[in-house]
Chain A
Amino acid sequence: MIKQISLFLENKKGRLAHVCRVLGKADINIRALSIADTTDFGVLRLIVNDPRKAYDILKENGFAVSITNVLAIEVADIPGGLSCALDKLELAGVNVEYMYAFIGTTSQDALVIIRVENPETAIEYVEKAGIKVVQEDEIYSL
């Protein structure tokens, strides 16, 4: 299962830059990210090359951080590709809580990170629906 790093950020100047500086110094490479924000705070979600190390480093630096299991799926990199994948997930009864695009690719397809309620059971349905789920070590080394 792919480990996503999530951390709490106040909506204040320089906070995001600070996180990136901490990760950069520790030789952590950010592979994908998304920020969900409200008026007062944001939640930064990261896929990195070494989640365990990133988690420890961020914790040491005093951030509220957590690790969440997410899925990376392959989506045809053509118009309608994502729509098709989402239809399949819906048919399979998999509810997507949030998703964001991944920068690198494994093949000619695009990669999308999805967060679902029970990733352990969902993975089966996703695969049955004919969607390719990318493995953990593959993602980190991309």
Chain B
Amino acid sequence: MTYWNKHYECMPREELEKLQLDRLKKTVERVYYNVPFYRQKFQEVGLVPEDIHSLDDLKKLPFTTKQELRDNYPFGMIAAPMSEIVRLHASSGTTGKPTVVAYTRSDINIWSEILARTLTCGGTTKNSVIQIAYGYGLFTGGLGIHYGAERVGASVIPISGGNTQRQLMLMEDFGTTVLACTPSYAIYLAEALEKSGRDRSKFKLKYGIFGAEPWSEKMRSRIEKSLNISAIDIYGLSEVIGPGVASECQEKKGLHIFEDHFIPEIIDPETGETLPMGEKGELVFTTITKEGFPVIRYRTRDITYLTKEPCACGRTHIRMHRVMGRTDDMLVIRGVNVFPSQIESVLLDMGETNPHYLLIVDRNGSLDELEVQVEISEAMFNDKVKGLEGLEKKIQSKILSNLGISAKIRLVEPNSIPRSEGKAKRVIDRRNI
């Protein structure tokens, strides 16, 4: 069995929990004294940093939500002086404003460390040639994995996403052994490879590191078979650090959460009550080593369950089941987070008071497709086809510029989208993941 950092990854649980408590106390102190938002929230429940005596006391701390991160745009949640911040990343936002996350030099160091562990889990060594086809830029995927791969000492190809023919050319010519990208792009690459007529036996690809969108066991076996590789699932979110929060080992029986840096909890999304180990609920994270952007009990909205059962790989860290769903209606389409409310605000901006719409997500071959059905209203309607087609194009380009995703727009008759009592059904997900 290969580990990147056996000392921490296989630390006896008692010792690990002692370390967690020590680090938790420091983090609570850090946010209390450096982030007015946290201080105020702690004061509201009458809590001071000295009240944390055990890991169980975590329950006393208030939750942090995505909305609160947004409300404190851009730098309100940063817990270190800006002079200490060496990197900023951002994720797409519902109102045009992104969620900003910040890293100190130590945070980048930690991030590289946990990604080195992740990549080692996935089969990467210093002899590997790793092709990083996650997007580089404000998105944490590309650069996060990049630093981890350099830490391992692999030869890094920072190719970023897209340009499939060039991906295949370099994969063959450079002798890529590890591919890191979204699972749907992996399938797309496999299909393109098949079509290209290139000789698979000339490729050296052995391992895949896939994440950033939901996928299934079925999809894994398809990717593994078509690319003839061993593929692991990785988990992360920029609010916590980016990729590298958790990773499968070669046992492929759940993702080890790197608990010396993040404390996971599962809560009942309705009541906020902490659920016992093994029960399914919303995943919540507290970072315990980050300086720039620590989060306290951050609600991920991802649904899963945890297990403390020892893993055959020897790692002692808690495992999470691959993400089973969401507590909100967020969709991940081609790696892009899409909330129906974002589409709604685009439609509202077009001068409509009460837009009725339906999102239909489908997977055509290996690529996700989004169709937005919009009920035409009298105000939008006119007798010219040109005008209606122009309207479709206008909605399409607004969605593209606001959400970064291209959608097919279909105008439908008034009252043709089913109305429901209470929460409207806005999404039909036909993807069979």
The chain A residues found within 8 Å of chain B, CB to CB, are: 4, 6-10, 15, 36-38, 40-41, 43, 45, 59, 62-66, 68, 97-98, 115
Given contacts A36-B385, A43-B384, A45-B383, 12 further A-B contacts (CB under 8 A): A38-B385, A41-B410, A41-B411, A43-B388, A64-B376, A64-B377, A64-B378, A64-B381, A64-B414, A65-B381, A66-B378, A68-B382
Distance in angstroms between the alpha carbons of A34 and B415 in the assembled complex: 24
Contact-residue size bin, chain B (C-beta under 8 Å from the other chain): 10 to 19
B349 in the interface (beta carbon within 8 A): no
A-B contact pairs, 23 of them (CB 8 A): A6-B381, A6-B383, A8-B381, A8-B388, A9-B413, A15-B413, A38-B385, A38-B388, A38-B389, A40-B410, A40-B411, A41-B411, A43-B383, A43-B388, A59-B378, A62-B414, A64-B380, A64-B413, A65-B378, A66-B378, A66-B381, A68-B383, A98-B384
Query: Of all chain B residues, which has the CB nearest A9?
Result: B413
Query: Of all chain A residues, which has the CB nearest B377?
Result: A64
Distance in angstroms between the alpha carbons of A73 and B410 in the assembled complex: 36
Distance in angstroms between the alpha carbons of A38 and B389 in the assembled complex: 9
Residues of B within 8 A of A115 (CB): 383
Distance in angstroms between the alpha carbons of A15 and B414 in the assembled complex: 13
Residues of B within 8 A of A4 (CB): 383
B416 in the interface (beta carbon within 8 A): yes
Query: Of all chain A residues, which has the CB nearest B378?
Result: A64
The smallest C-beta distance from A55 to any residue of chain B, in angstroms, reads: 10
B413 touches A8 (CB 8 A): yes
Which A-B residue pairs are the 3 nearest by beta carbons? A6-B383, A64-B381, A36-B385
The chain B residues found within 8 Å of chain A, CB to CB, are: 376-378, 380-385, 388-389, 410-416
Query: Of all chain B residues, which has the CB nearest A37?
Result: B385
Interface centre among B376, B378, B388, B413 (most CB of A within 10 A): B413
The smallest C-beta distance from B92 to any residue of chain A, in angstroms, reads: 28
Distance in angstroms between the alpha carbons of A112 and B391 in the assembled complex: 29
Residues of B within 8 A of A9 (CB): 413
Residues of A within 8 A of B410 (CB): 40-41
Residues of A within 8 A of B416 (CB): 10
Residues of A within 8 A of B413 (CB): 8-10, 15, 62-64
A8 touches B385 (CB 8 A): no
Query: Of all chain B residues, which has the CB nearest A36?
Result: B385
Distance in angstroms between the alpha carbons of A66 and B239 in the assembled complex: 49
Query: Of all chain A residues, which has the CB nearest B412?
Result: A10
B414 touches A6 (CB 8 A): no
A62 touches B415 (CB 8 A): yes
Residues of A within 8 A of B376 (CB): 8, 64
The smallest C-beta distance from A3 to any residue of chain B, in angstroms, reads: 11
